[in-house]
Structure 1
Protein backbone atom coordinates (compact mmCIF):
# COMPACT_ATOMS: atom_id res chain seq x y z
CA UNK A 1 0.00 0.00 0.00
CA UNK A 2 1.27 3.46 -0.87
CA UNK A 3 2.45 5.62 2.00
CA UNK A 4 1.10 9.08 2.62
CA UNK A 5 3.64 11.86 2.15
CA UNK A 6 4.08 15.38 3.46
CA UNK A 7 5.22 18.41 1.46
CA UNK A 8 7.75 19.22 0.21
CA UNK A 9 7.13 15.78 -1.33
CA UNK A 10 10.75 15.49 -2.36
CA UNK A 11 11.22 12.83 -5.03
CA UNK A 12 13.88 12.89 -7.73
CA UNK A 13 11.32 12.10 -10.45
CA UNK A 14 8.47 14.35 -9.36
CA UNK A 15 8.12 17.87 -8.00
CA UNK A 16 4.79 17.90 -6.20
CA UNK A 17 5.36 21.49 -5.07
CA UNK A 18 5.50 23.03 -8.53
CA UNK A 19 1.79 23.50 -9.18
CA UNK A 20 1.24 26.94 -10.74
CA UNK A 21 -2.01 28.41 -9.50
CA UNK A 22 -2.26 25.97 -6.58
CA UNK A 23 -0.89 26.10 -3.03
CA UNK A 24 -0.34 23.47 -0.35
CA UNK A 25 -1.72 24.57 3.01
CA UNK A 26 -0.07 23.03 6.07
CA UNK A 27 -1.96 22.42 9.32
CA UNK A 28 -1.25 20.41 12.45
CA UNK A 29 -3.32 17.60 10.86
CA UNK A 30 -1.62 17.52 7.46
CA UNK A 31 -1.60 19.32 4.13
CA UNK A 32 -4.36 20.09 1.66
CA UNK A 33 -4.53 21.94 -1.66
CA UNK A 34 -6.07 25.30 -2.39
CA UNK A 35 -6.73 26.95 -5.74
CA UNK A 36 -5.21 30.43 -5.84
CA UNK A 37 -8.22 31.78 -7.75
CA UNK A 38 -10.42 31.00 -4.75
CA UNK A 39 -8.02 32.38 -2.14
CA UNK A 40 -10.67 34.77 -0.76
CA UNK A 41 -12.85 31.77 0.13
CA UNK A 42 -12.01 29.16 2.74
CA UNK A 43 -11.72 25.86 0.90
CA UNK A 44 -9.58 22.79 0.50
CA UNK A 45 -8.92 19.73 -1.66
CA UNK A 46 -7.80 16.93 0.64
CA UNK A 47 -5.59 13.94 -0.19
CA UNK A 48 -5.48 10.29 0.88
CA UNK A 49 -3.32 11.47 3.77
CA UNK A 50 -6.61 12.36 5.45
CA UNK A 51 -8.11 8.88 5.06
CA UNK A 52 -10.65 8.10 7.77
CA UNK A 53 -11.55 11.73 8.42
CA UNK A 54 -14.84 12.91 6.92
CA UNK A 55 -16.32 16.39 6.45
CA UNK A 56 -17.42 16.62 10.07
CA UNK A 57 -13.71 16.53 11.02
CA UNK A 58 -12.16 18.17 7.95
CA UNK A 59 -14.38 21.27 8.21
CA UNK A 60 -12.46 22.42 11.27
CA UNK A 61 -9.20 22.48 9.30
CA UNK A 62 -10.75 24.77 6.68
CA UNK A 63 -12.76 27.09 8.95
CA UNK A 64 -13.89 27.03 12.57
CA UNK A 65 -17.54 27.10 13.55
CA UNK A 66 -19.12 26.28 10.20
CA UNK A 67 -22.03 23.96 9.54
CA UNK A 68 -21.33 20.83 7.52
CA UNK A 69 -23.32 19.80 4.45
CA UNK A 70 -22.78 16.62 2.45
CA UNK A 71 -24.63 14.19 0.22
CA UNK A 72 -25.02 10.54 -0.60
CA UNK A 73 -23.44 10.79 -4.05
CA UNK A 74 -25.00 8.66 -6.79
CA UNK A 75 -23.39 9.98 -10.03
CA UNK A 76 -26.43 12.13 -10.75
CA UNK A 77 -26.92 15.67 -11.99
CA UNK A 78 -29.07 16.68 -9.01
CA UNK A 79 -28.10 19.90 -7.18
CA UNK A 80 -29.69 20.73 -3.82
CA UNK A 81 -29.68 23.68 -1.39
CA UNK A 82 -27.16 23.03 1.37
CA UNK A 83 -29.80 23.32 4.10
CA UNK A 84 -31.39 20.12 2.77
CA UNK A 85 -28.16 18.16 3.36
CA UNK A 86 -27.19 18.74 6.95
CA UNK A 87 -28.10 15.50 8.73
CA UNK A 88 -27.97 11.76 8.24
CA UNK A 89 -29.61 10.21 6.25
CA UNK A 90 -28.09 12.52 3.67
CA UNK A 91 -30.06 13.03 0.44
CA UNK A 92 -29.08 11.42 -2.84
CA UNK A 93 -27.55 14.09 -5.08
CA UNK A 94 -24.17 15.23 -6.39
CA UNK A 95 -24.20 19.00 -6.05
CA UNK A 96 -24.81 21.53 -3.30
CA UNK A 97 -25.55 25.27 -3.40
CA UNK A 98 -25.18 27.42 -0.28
CA UNK A 99 -28.30 29.14 1.00
CA UNK A 100 -26.80 30.81 4.07
CA UNK A 101 -23.47 32.06 5.35
CA UNK A 102 -20.99 29.87 7.21
CA UNK A 103 -21.93 26.67 5.41
CA UNK A 104 -19.19 24.23 4.43
CA UNK A 105 -20.21 22.28 1.32
CA UNK A 106 -18.48 18.95 0.60
CA UNK A 107 -17.98 16.61 -2.34
CA UNK A 108 -15.89 13.45 -2.53
CA UNK A 109 -14.40 11.34 -5.29
CA UNK A 110 -11.71 8.92 -6.32
CA UNK A 111 -11.31 9.88 -10.02
CA UNK A 112 -14.31 12.13 -10.70
CA UNK A 113 -13.74 15.88 -10.62
CA UNK A 114 -14.48 17.79 -7.43
CA UNK A 115 -15.75 21.19 -8.58
CA UNK A 116 -15.84 24.16 -6.21
CA UNK A 117 -17.56 27.35 -7.38
CA UNK A 118 -17.51 30.73 -5.63
CA UNK A 119 -19.14 34.08 -6.32
CA UNK A 120 -17.19 37.00 -4.77
CA UNK A 121 -20.13 39.33 -5.41
CA UNK A 122 -22.73 37.39 -3.39
CA UNK A 123 -20.55 35.18 -1.18
CA UNK A 124 -22.45 32.09 -2.32
CA UNK A 125 -20.68 28.85 -3.23
CA UNK A 126 -21.31 25.45 -4.78
CA UNK A 127 -19.64 22.05 -4.55
CA UNK A 128 -20.19 19.33 -7.15
CA UNK A 129 -19.08 15.77 -7.76
CA UNK A 130 -18.61 15.76 -11.54
CA UNK A 131 -17.80 12.45 -13.19
CA UNK A 132 -18.69 11.78 -16.80
CA UNK A 133 -22.32 11.03 -15.88
CA UNK A 134 -22.61 14.29 -13.97
CA UNK A 135 -21.04 16.34 -16.74
CA UNK A 136 -23.13 14.61 -19.40
CA UNK A 137 -26.25 15.10 -17.28
CA UNK A 138 -25.63 18.82 -16.85
CA UNK A 139 -24.74 19.06 -13.17
CA UNK A 140 -22.50 22.09 -13.74
CA UNK A 141 -25.19 23.83 -15.76
CA UNK A 142 -27.66 23.26 -12.92
CA UNK A 143 -25.22 24.57 -10.33
CA UNK A 144 -24.43 27.69 -12.32
CA UNK A 145 -28.11 28.30 -13.06
CA UNK A 146 -29.05 28.04 -9.39
CA UNK A 147 -26.34 30.57 -8.54
CA UNK A 148 -27.62 32.84 -11.31
CA UNK A 149 -31.16 32.49 -9.95
CA UNK A 150 -29.77 33.78 -6.66
CA UNK A 151 -28.22 36.88 -8.23
CA UNK A 152 -24.87 35.65 -9.57
CA UNK A 153 -23.42 36.43 -12.97
CA UNK A 154 -21.54 33.62 -14.80
CA UNK A 155 -18.71 35.97 -15.79
CA UNK A 156 -18.02 36.75 -12.12
CA UNK A 157 -17.86 33.15 -10.90
CA UNK A 158 -14.59 31.56 -9.81
CA UNK A 159 -14.21 27.81 -10.37
CA UNK A 160 -11.67 25.25 -9.18
CA UNK A 161 -11.53 21.84 -10.85
CA UNK A 162 -9.69 19.66 -8.36
CA UNK A 163 -7.55 16.53 -8.68
CA UNK A 164 -9.19 13.93 -10.94
CA UNK A 165 -8.22 11.22 -13.37
CA UNK A 166 -6.30 12.53 -16.40
CA UNK A 167 -7.19 11.82 -19.99
CA UNK A 168 -4.26 9.50 -20.56
CA UNK A 169 -5.49 7.18 -17.82
CA UNK A 170 -9.23 7.28 -18.50
CA UNK A 171 -10.38 4.89 -21.23
CA UNK A 172 -14.10 5.12 -21.99
CA UNK A 173 -16.55 3.63 -24.45
CA UNK A 174 -17.43 5.79 -27.47
CA UNK A 175 -20.99 6.03 -26.14
CA UNK A 176 -19.62 7.84 -23.07
CA UNK A 177 -17.74 10.32 -25.26
CA UNK A 178 -20.89 10.95 -27.25
CA UNK A 179 -22.99 11.62 -24.15
CA UNK A 180 -20.41 14.09 -22.82
CA UNK A 181 -20.21 15.78 -26.23
CA UNK A 182 -23.99 16.02 -26.50
CA UNK A 183 -24.10 17.94 -23.22
CA UNK A 184 -22.28 20.83 -24.91
CA UNK A 185 -25.24 21.60 -27.16
CA UNK A 186 -27.70 24.30 -26.13
CA UNK A 187 -30.52 21.91 -27.02
CA UNK A 188 -30.65 18.22 -28.00
CA UNK A 189 -29.61 17.86 -31.64
CA UNK A 190 -28.16 14.58 -32.88
CA UNK A 191 -26.92 16.22 -36.08
CA UNK A 192 -24.44 18.29 -34.05
CA UNK A 193 -22.74 15.27 -32.45
CA UNK A 194 -19.81 14.99 -34.94
CA UNK A 195 -19.08 18.71 -34.50
CA UNK A 196 -19.25 18.50 -30.71
CA UNK A 197 -16.96 15.45 -30.62
CA UNK A 198 -14.46 17.34 -32.74
CA UNK A 199 -14.62 20.29 -30.35
CA UNK A 200 -13.76 17.96 -27.47
CA UNK A 201 -10.79 16.68 -29.48
CA UNK A 202 -9.62 20.19 -30.32
CA UNK A 203 -9.52 21.27 -26.67
CA UNK A 204 -7.72 18.07 -25.64
CA UNK A 205 -10.64 16.58 -23.71
CA UNK A 206 -10.90 13.65 -26.11
CA UNK A 207 -7.86 11.66 -27.20
CA UNK A 208 -7.43 8.61 -29.42
CA UNK A 209 -7.31 5.13 -27.89
CA UNK A 210 -5.74 1.99 -29.43
CA UNK A 211 -9.25 0.49 -29.49
CA UNK A 212 -11.11 2.26 -32.32
CA UNK A 213 -14.39 1.98 -30.41
CA UNK A 214 -13.02 3.69 -27.32
CA UNK A 215 -11.50 7.05 -26.39
CA UNK A 216 -9.38 8.62 -23.68
CA UNK A 217 -11.45 11.25 -21.89
CA UNK A 218 -10.12 14.15 -19.83
CA UNK A 219 -13.23 14.92 -17.84
CA UNK A 220 -11.77 18.13 -16.36
CA UNK A 221 -11.17 19.62 -19.80
CA UNK A 222 -14.68 18.61 -20.84
CA UNK A 223 -16.04 20.27 -17.69
CA UNK A 224 -14.05 23.40 -18.42
CA UNK A 225 -15.40 23.60 -21.96
CA UNK A 226 -18.92 23.20 -20.62
CA UNK A 227 -18.37 25.94 -18.04
CA UNK A 228 -17.02 28.29 -20.69
CA UNK A 229 -20.15 27.74 -22.75
CA UNK A 230 -22.19 28.68 -19.69
CA UNK A 231 -20.44 32.06 -19.59
CA UNK A 232 -17.70 31.36 -17.05
CA UNK A 233 -14.48 33.08 -18.10
CA UNK A 234 -11.51 30.86 -18.95
CA UNK A 235 -9.22 32.99 -16.80
CA UNK A 236 -11.47 32.33 -13.82
CA UNK A 237 -11.28 28.54 -14.02
CA UNK A 238 -8.43 26.82 -12.17
CA UNK A 239 -7.70 23.26 -13.28
CA UNK A 240 -5.51 21.14 -11.01
CA UNK A 241 -2.78 19.34 -13.00
CA UNK A 242 -2.63 16.32 -10.68
CA UNK A 243 -4.07 13.01 -11.92
CA UNK A 244 -5.56 10.75 -9.25
CA UNK A 245 -4.67 7.57 -11.15
CA UNK A 246 -1.04 8.62 -11.67
CA UNK A 247 -0.29 9.78 -8.12
CA UNK A 248 -0.79 6.82 -5.74
CA UNK A 249 1.12 8.59 -2.98
CA UNK A 250 -1.43 11.37 -2.93
CA UNK A 251 -4.78 10.07 -4.14
CA UNK A 252 -7.16 7.16 -4.13
CA UNK A 253 -8.21 6.05 -7.62
CA UNK A 254 -10.98 3.62 -8.44
CA UNK A 255 -9.60 3.00 -11.94
CA UNK A 256 -6.16 2.22 -10.55
CA UNK A 257 -6.97 0.23 -7.40
CA UNK A 258 -10.61 -0.93 -7.73
CA UNK A 259 -11.01 -0.08 -4.03
CA UNK A 260 -13.81 2.04 -2.57
CA UNK A 261 -11.94 4.95 -0.99
CA UNK A 262 -12.30 8.70 -1.55
CA UNK A 263 -10.78 12.09 -0.85
CA UNK A 264 -12.91 15.07 0.17
CA UNK A 265 -13.11 18.65 -1.06
CA UNK A 266 -15.00 21.50 0.57
CA UNK A 267 -15.71 25.23 0.44
CA UNK A 268 -17.30 27.69 2.89
CA UNK A 269 -20.00 30.21 1.97
CA UNK A 270 -19.72 33.86 3.02
CA UNK A 271 -23.39 34.77 2.72
Structure 2
Protein backbone atom coordinates (compact mmCIF):
# COMPACT_ATOMS: atom_id res chain seq x y z
CA UNK A 1 0.00 0.00 0.00
CA UNK A 2 1.34 3.41 -0.97
CA UNK A 3 1.60 6.28 1.51
CA UNK A 4 -1.18 8.08 -0.39
CA UNK A 5 -3.46 5.04 -0.09
CA UNK A 6 -2.64 4.73 3.59
CA UNK A 7 -3.53 8.37 4.15
CA UNK A 8 -6.77 7.96 2.19
CA UNK A 9 -7.81 4.94 4.24
CA UNK A 10 -6.77 6.31 7.61
CA UNK A 11 -4.28 3.52 8.27
CA UNK A 12 -2.74 3.86 11.71
CA UNK A 13 -5.43 6.21 12.97
CA UNK A 14 -6.45 6.21 16.62
CA UNK A 15 -9.80 4.96 17.88
CA UNK A 16 -12.12 7.44 16.09
CA UNK A 17 -14.58 7.61 18.96
CA UNK A 18 -11.83 8.80 21.30
CA UNK A 19 -11.45 11.99 19.24
CA UNK A 20 -13.78 15.02 19.24
CA UNK A 21 -16.07 15.52 16.25
CA UNK A 22 -14.00 17.62 13.87
CA UNK A 23 -16.90 18.81 11.73
CA UNK A 24 -19.71 18.92 14.29
CA UNK A 25 -20.61 22.45 13.35
CA UNK A 26 -23.01 24.57 11.32
CA UNK A 27 -22.95 23.77 7.60
CA UNK A 28 -24.73 26.05 5.08
CA UNK A 29 -28.13 24.53 4.39
CA UNK A 30 -27.74 21.85 7.05
CA UNK A 31 -28.48 21.66 10.78
CA UNK A 32 -27.42 19.28 13.53
CA UNK A 33 -30.57 18.34 15.44
CA UNK A 34 -30.13 17.41 19.09
CA UNK A 35 -32.43 15.04 20.94
CA UNK A 36 -32.16 12.90 24.05
CA UNK A 37 -30.57 10.10 22.01
CA UNK A 38 -27.87 12.16 20.32
CA UNK A 39 -27.52 14.31 17.21
CA UNK A 40 -28.46 13.76 13.59
CA UNK A 41 -28.10 15.87 10.46
CA UNK A 42 -31.08 17.61 8.85
CA UNK A 43 -31.36 19.31 5.44
CA UNK A 44 -32.88 22.75 5.93
CA UNK A 45 -34.97 22.63 2.74
CA UNK A 46 -36.67 19.39 3.76
CA UNK A 47 -37.19 20.66 7.29
CA UNK A 48 -38.66 23.96 6.12
CA UNK A 49 -41.13 22.06 3.94
CA UNK A 50 -42.26 20.10 7.00
CA UNK A 51 -40.66 16.73 6.23
CA UNK A 52 -39.32 14.90 9.28
CA UNK A 53 -36.05 13.23 8.35
CA UNK A 54 -32.53 12.56 9.55
CA UNK A 55 -29.07 11.48 8.43
CA UNK A 56 -27.69 9.58 11.41
CA UNK A 57 -24.02 9.03 12.31
CA UNK A 58 -21.93 6.14 13.58
CA UNK A 59 -22.57 7.38 17.12
CA UNK A 60 -26.01 5.76 16.80
CA UNK A 61 -24.38 2.37 16.23
CA UNK A 62 -26.55 -0.52 17.39
CA UNK A 63 -29.81 1.36 16.86
CA UNK A 64 -31.65 0.46 13.67
CA UNK A 65 -34.69 2.00 11.96
CA UNK A 66 -37.17 0.47 14.42
CA UNK A 67 -35.63 2.60 17.16
CA UNK A 68 -34.43 5.56 15.09
CA UNK A 69 -37.90 6.19 13.64
CA UNK A 70 -39.08 7.28 17.07
CA UNK A 71 -36.57 10.14 17.08
CA UNK A 72 -38.11 11.53 13.88
CA UNK A 73 -41.83 11.00 14.48
CA UNK A 74 -44.17 9.08 16.76
CA UNK A 75 -46.31 6.18 15.62
CA UNK A 76 -44.89 5.74 12.11
CA UNK A 77 -44.35 2.41 10.39
CA UNK A 78 -40.83 1.39 9.40
CA UNK A 79 -39.84 0.36 5.88
CA UNK A 80 -36.44 -0.63 4.49
CA UNK A 81 -35.04 -2.75 1.65
CA UNK A 82 -32.28 -5.34 1.59
CA UNK A 83 -29.79 -3.27 -0.37
CA UNK A 84 -28.07 -4.91 -3.33
CA UNK A 85 -26.44 -1.96 -5.19
CA UNK A 86 -29.10 -1.94 -7.91
CA UNK A 87 -31.86 0.26 -9.27
CA UNK A 88 -35.04 -1.31 -7.91
CA UNK A 89 -37.38 1.14 -6.16
CA UNK A 90 -40.04 -0.60 -4.07
CA UNK A 91 -43.36 0.56 -2.69
CA UNK A 92 -42.90 1.02 1.02
CA UNK A 93 -45.82 -1.25 1.90
CA UNK A 94 -43.97 -4.16 0.26
CA UNK A 95 -40.96 -3.66 2.56
CA UNK A 96 -42.38 -3.64 6.06
CA UNK A 97 -40.92 -6.73 7.75
CA UNK A 98 -38.06 -9.22 7.55
CA UNK A 99 -37.10 -10.84 5.31
CA UNK A 100 -36.62 -7.45 3.68
CA UNK A 101 -37.10 -7.47 -0.11
CA UNK A 102 -34.14 -6.77 -2.38
CA UNK A 103 -33.93 -3.19 -3.60
CA UNK A 104 -32.10 0.09 -3.11
CA UNK A 105 -34.96 2.53 -3.02
CA UNK A 106 -38.39 3.01 -1.48
CA UNK A 107 -41.32 5.30 -2.26
CA UNK A 108 -44.18 5.94 0.15
CA UNK A 109 -47.61 4.69 -0.88
CA UNK A 110 -49.69 5.71 2.13
CA UNK A 111 -49.48 7.94 5.19
CA UNK A 112 -47.54 7.34 8.38
CA UNK A 113 -44.55 5.65 6.75
CA UNK A 114 -40.86 6.16 7.53
CA UNK A 115 -38.48 5.09 4.75
CA UNK A 116 -34.90 4.03 5.49
CA UNK A 117 -31.64 3.32 3.65
CA UNK A 118 -28.15 2.75 5.00
CA UNK A 119 -24.62 3.13 3.76
CA UNK A 120 -20.95 3.60 4.52
CA UNK A 121 -19.59 5.71 1.60
CA UNK A 122 -22.50 5.49 -0.87
CA UNK A 123 -24.86 8.46 -1.00
CA UNK A 124 -28.16 8.36 0.91
CA UNK A 125 -30.69 10.36 -1.12
CA UNK A 126 -34.02 11.56 0.31
CA UNK A 127 -36.67 12.99 -2.02
CA UNK A 128 -39.92 14.73 -1.07
CA UNK A 129 -42.94 16.06 -2.94
CA UNK A 130 -44.51 19.01 -1.10
CA UNK A 131 -47.68 18.71 -3.18
CA UNK A 132 -48.69 15.12 -2.38
CA UNK A 133 -46.59 14.63 0.74
CA UNK A 134 -45.06 11.45 -0.70
CA UNK A 135 -41.36 10.73 -0.21
CA UNK A 136 -38.64 8.42 -1.47
CA UNK A 137 -35.33 7.17 -0.07
CA UNK A 138 -32.50 5.76 -2.17
CA UNK A 139 -29.09 4.20 -1.63
CA UNK A 140 -26.98 5.57 -4.49
CA UNK A 141 -23.44 4.33 -4.94
CA UNK A 142 -21.76 4.36 -8.32
CA UNK A 143 -23.69 1.26 -9.37
CA UNK A 144 -26.97 2.86 -8.32
CA UNK A 145 -26.27 6.04 -10.26
CA UNK A 146 -25.05 4.03 -13.26
CA UNK A 147 -28.23 1.94 -13.22
CA UNK A 148 -30.36 5.12 -12.81
CA UNK A 149 -32.01 4.51 -9.47
CA UNK A 150 -32.75 8.22 -8.97
CA UNK A 151 -34.74 8.60 -12.22
CA UNK A 152 -36.64 5.46 -11.19
CA UNK A 153 -37.53 7.05 -7.85
CA UNK A 154 -38.63 10.27 -9.55
CA UNK A 155 -40.87 8.30 -11.90
CA UNK A 156 -42.45 6.53 -8.93
CA UNK A 157 -43.18 9.86 -7.25
CA UNK A 158 -44.68 11.21 -10.47
CA UNK A 159 -47.09 8.29 -10.45
CA UNK A 160 -48.34 9.70 -7.15
CA UNK A 161 -48.87 13.18 -8.54
CA UNK A 162 -45.47 14.78 -8.06
CA UNK A 163 -44.16 17.49 -10.37
CA UNK A 164 -40.48 16.83 -10.78
CA UNK A 165 -39.25 20.42 -10.81
CA UNK A 166 -41.03 20.94 -7.46
CA UNK A 167 -39.33 18.01 -5.73
CA UNK A 168 -36.96 18.65 -2.84
CA UNK A 169 -33.86 16.42 -2.71
CA UNK A 170 -31.18 16.01 -0.05
CA UNK A 171 -27.97 14.02 -0.55
CA UNK A 172 -26.35 13.01 2.72
CA UNK A 173 -22.74 12.35 3.77
CA UNK A 174 -20.77 10.14 1.39
CA UNK A 175 -17.21 9.57 0.24
CA UNK A 176 -15.84 12.71 -1.42
CA UNK A 177 -14.44 12.90 -4.92
CA UNK A 178 -11.04 13.78 -3.51
CA UNK A 179 -10.81 10.38 -1.77
CA UNK A 180 -12.74 8.04 -4.08
CA UNK A 181 -10.39 6.38 -6.56
CA UNK A 182 -12.06 4.28 -9.28
CA UNK A 183 -11.15 2.78 -12.62
CA UNK A 184 -11.87 5.02 -15.59
CA UNK A 185 -14.26 2.34 -16.88
CA UNK A 186 -16.39 2.88 -13.76
CA UNK A 187 -16.49 6.62 -14.38
CA UNK A 188 -17.57 6.01 -17.97
CA UNK A 189 -20.46 3.80 -16.82
CA UNK A 190 -21.59 6.58 -14.50
CA UNK A 191 -21.16 9.15 -17.26
CA UNK A 192 -23.32 7.17 -19.66
CA UNK A 193 -26.13 7.23 -17.08
CA UNK A 194 -25.86 11.02 -16.85
CA UNK A 195 -26.51 11.47 -20.55
CA UNK A 196 -22.83 12.29 -21.06
CA UNK A 197 -20.85 11.00 -24.03
CA UNK A 198 -19.53 7.74 -22.53
CA UNK A 199 -16.18 8.18 -24.29
CA UNK A 200 -15.63 11.63 -22.84
CA UNK A 201 -13.75 11.69 -19.56
CA UNK A 202 -13.06 15.35 -20.31
CA UNK A 203 -16.78 16.13 -20.17
CA UNK A 204 -17.10 14.36 -16.82
CA UNK A 205 -14.15 16.38 -15.57
CA UNK A 206 -15.77 19.59 -16.82
CA UNK A 207 -18.89 18.72 -14.81
CA UNK A 208 -16.69 18.13 -11.73
CA UNK A 209 -17.85 14.51 -11.62
CA UNK A 210 -14.27 13.26 -11.86
CA UNK A 211 -10.80 14.61 -11.31
CA UNK A 212 -7.42 13.23 -12.46
CA UNK A 213 -5.54 10.57 -10.51
CA UNK A 214 -1.80 9.89 -10.52
CA UNK A 215 -2.35 6.20 -11.28
CA UNK A 216 -2.80 5.36 -14.94
CA UNK A 217 -6.28 4.17 -15.90
CA UNK A 218 -7.85 5.55 -12.73
CA UNK A 219 -9.55 8.76 -11.66
CA UNK A 220 -11.28 10.24 -8.63
CA UNK A 221 -15.09 10.06 -8.75
CA UNK A 222 -17.38 12.47 -6.92
CA UNK A 223 -20.46 10.26 -6.66
CA UNK A 224 -22.58 13.00 -5.04
CA UNK A 225 -21.80 15.40 -7.89
CA UNK A 226 -22.68 12.63 -10.35
CA UNK A 227 -26.02 12.19 -8.58
CA UNK A 228 -26.64 15.95 -8.67
CA UNK A 229 -25.90 16.05 -12.40
CA UNK A 230 -28.26 13.13 -12.96
CA UNK A 231 -31.02 14.84 -10.97
CA UNK A 232 -30.60 18.06 -12.96
CA UNK A 233 -30.66 16.13 -16.23
CA UNK A 234 -33.98 14.67 -15.07
CA UNK A 235 -35.47 18.14 -14.66
CA UNK A 236 -34.96 18.65 -10.93
CA UNK A 237 -34.50 22.32 -10.05
CA UNK A 238 -30.90 22.73 -8.90
CA UNK A 239 -31.91 25.22 -6.20
CA UNK A 240 -34.00 22.48 -4.60
CA UNK A 241 -31.08 20.03 -4.30
CA UNK A 242 -29.01 20.03 -1.08
CA UNK A 243 -25.73 18.08 -1.11
CA UNK A 244 -24.02 17.62 2.25
CA UNK A 245 -20.28 18.38 1.98
CA UNK A 246 -19.19 15.95 4.71
CA UNK A 247 -16.98 13.05 3.60
CA UNK A 248 -17.48 9.69 5.29
CA UNK A 249 -13.81 8.72 4.79
CA UNK A 250 -12.49 11.99 6.19
CA UNK A 251 -14.65 12.06 9.33
CA UNK A 252 -13.92 8.86 11.32
CA UNK A 253 -15.47 10.30 14.48
CA UNK A 254 -18.81 10.75 12.68
CA UNK A 255 -19.12 8.12 9.98
CA UNK A 256 -18.37 4.52 9.12
CA UNK A 257 -16.47 4.14 5.85
CA UNK A 258 -15.95 0.86 4.05
CA UNK A 259 -13.12 2.23 1.94
CA UNK A 260 -11.33 3.53 5.03
CA UNK A 261 -11.86 0.68 7.50
CA UNK A 262 -12.94 -2.38 5.46
CA UNK A 263 -15.50 -3.12 8.17
CA UNK A 264 -19.16 -3.91 7.51
CA UNK A 265 -20.84 -1.15 9.48
CA UNK A 266 -23.34 1.48 8.34
CA UNK A 267 -25.21 4.61 9.31
CA UNK A 268 -28.92 5.06 8.60
CA UNK A 269 -30.90 7.81 6.88
CA UNK A 270 -34.69 8.13 6.97
CA UNK A 271 -37.62 10.32 5.98
CA UNK A 272 -41.29 10.39 6.97
CA UNK A 273 -43.98 11.07 4.38
CA UNK A 274 -46.79 13.58 4.83
CA UNK A 275 -49.33 11.84 2.62
CA UNK A 276 -52.73 11.31 4.21
CA UNK A 277 -53.66 7.77 5.20
Task: Kindly state the Cα deviation for residue 194 of structure 1 after the two structures are TM-superposed.
Answer: 3.0
Please tell me whether residue 120 in structure 1 is matched to residue 130 in structure 2.
yes
Q: Show structure 2 runs of 5+ residues with no match.
A: 1-14
Aligned residues: 259
Please tell me whether residue 178 in structure 1 is matched to residue 220 in structure 2.
no
Please tell me whether residue 260 in structure 1 is matched to residue 264 in structure 2.
yes
Q: 1:28 aligns to what?
A: 36
Task: Kindly state the Cα deviation for residue 182 of structure 1 after the two structures are TM-superposed.
Answer: 0.5
Please tell me whether residue 240 in structure 1 is matched to residue 240 in structure 2.
no
Please tell me whether residue 250 in structure 1 is matched to residue 254 in structure 2.
yes
Q: How far apart in 2 are the matches of 1:67 and 1:200?
A: 40
Task: Kindly state the Cα deviation for residue 211 of structure 1 after the two structures are TM-superposed.
Answer: 1.1
Q: 1:60 aligns to what?
A: 70
Q: Is the 8 A contact 1:148 1:154 kept in 2?
A: yes
Q: How far apart in 2 are the matches of 1:203 and 1:81?
A: 33
Please tell me whether residue 198 in structure 1 is matched to residue 202 in structure 2.
yes
Q: 1:189 aligns to what?
A: none
Q: 2:219 aligns to what?
A: 215
Q: How far apart in 1 are the matches of 2:178 and 2:115?
A: 30
Q: How far apart in 1 are the matches of 2:107 and 2:79?
A: 10
Q: Residue 67 of structure 2: SS of its match in structure 1?
A: helix
CA displacement 1:129-162 (0-9 Å, x = unmatched): 0000000000001000111122111100000000
Q: How high is the TM-score relative to the length of structure 1?
A: 0.93
Q: How far apart in 2 are the matches of 1:17 and 1:203?
A: 28
Q: How far apart in 1 are the matches of 2:167 and 2:180?
A: 28
Q: 2:230 aligns to what?
A: 226
Please tell me whether residue 135 in structure 1 is matched to residue 145 in structure 2.
yes
CA displacement 1:151-203 (0-9 Å, x = unmatched): 111100000000000001100011100100010129xxxxx3234x3332112
Q: What value does the CA root-mean-square deviation take over the aligned residues?
A: 1.3
Q: Is the 8 A contact 2:26 2:32 kept in 1?
A: no
Please tell me whether residue 3 in structure 1 is matched to residue 17 in structure 2.
yes
Deviant stretches of 4+, over 3 Å: none
Judging changes above 3 Å, is the alpha-carbon distance between structure 1 residues 5 and 25 closer, same or farther for their aligned structure 2 residues?
farther
Q: 1:44 aligns to what?
A: 54
Task: Kindly state the Cα deviation for residue 5 of structure 1 after the two structures are TM-superposed.
Answer: 7.2
Match of residue 146, structure 1, among 147, 150, 156: 156
Q: How far apart in 2 are the matches of 1:88 and 1:18?
A: 37
Q: Residue 199 of structure 1: SS of its match in structure 2?
A: helix
Q: Show structure 1 runs of 5+ residues with no match.
A: 187-191
Q: 2:27 aligns to what?
A: 19
Q: Residue 23 of structure 1: SS of its match in structure 2?
A: strand
Judging changes above 3 Å, is the alpha-carbon distance between structure 1 residues 72 and 61 closer, same or farther for their aligned structure 2 residues?
same
